[in-house]
Structure 1
Amino acid sequence: MTTSIARVPTLSASRYLQQLAKHWSHKMTVAFTPEEGTIDFPNGSRLAMRADSESLDVVLTVPAGEDAARMRDVVASHLDRFAFREAPLTFDWREGD
């Protein structure tokens, strides 16, 4: 498993979390509130999100053998789509535990 963590500065974190969760809820297993959300991808990856008033924290867990960089790009590009007024958002991806 590879874990990637990013803190994304935005004043609209809750809105973007909810938009992304609703967008992917048609194809994936999704659970969310205005403050937290998880998305389980068909390839075994999981995205966990937490919104506060200044940022969106994302934790992306990707199984061994899957392309973690591609999954980071998928998450970032989708969030940028919802944040078109302030895109591109800043993702400071780093390795997690």
Structure 2
Amino acid sequence: MISTARYPTPNATKYVQQLAKHFGHKIEVRSDADSADFEMEAGSVRLSAQDGAFVAQVEAEDAKGIINLRYVVDKHLVIFAFRDGFTGLDWRMADG
């Protein structure tokens, strides 16, 4: 199962880097200037800055894993993007 969210913001690259650094203190994170990938117990996460937006994609075996990963990304982005008035991502399930 895959779920994706897009948050239009001029600070997308900054948020990707902040989240990569934050998660990198506890787990292995592969990142560059505009993207970060990491594995968590529930599944995998990919964060990226694309065309003026922060994009998060989570992948898990089941709905519980998707829900857990969405929560982790949302919870941390709320902390880093509070100045933008961010309150949560609008997640969508991938077709197919």
TM-score normalised by structure 1 residue count: 0.84
Query: Is 1:28 equivalent to 2:30 in the alignment?
Result: no
Q: Which has the higher helix share?
A: 2
CA contact (8 A) 1:48 1:60 kept: yes
Structure 1 gap ranges (5+): none
Percent identity over the alignment?
A: 31
How many residue pairs align between the two structures? Answer: 95
Structure 2 gap ranges (5+): none
Deviations 1:47-80 (A, max 9, x none): 1122035101111012237432232121111011
Taking the aligned partners of 1:56 and 1:24, their CA distance within structure 2 comes to 17
TM-score normalised by structure 2 residue count: 0.85
CA contact (8 A) 2:5 2:92 kept: yes
Change (3 A) 1:28 1:63: farther
Please give the residue correspondences for 1:9-88 in structure 2 after superposition, counting only pairs within 5 Å: 9-41=8-40, 43-64=41-62, 66-88=64-86
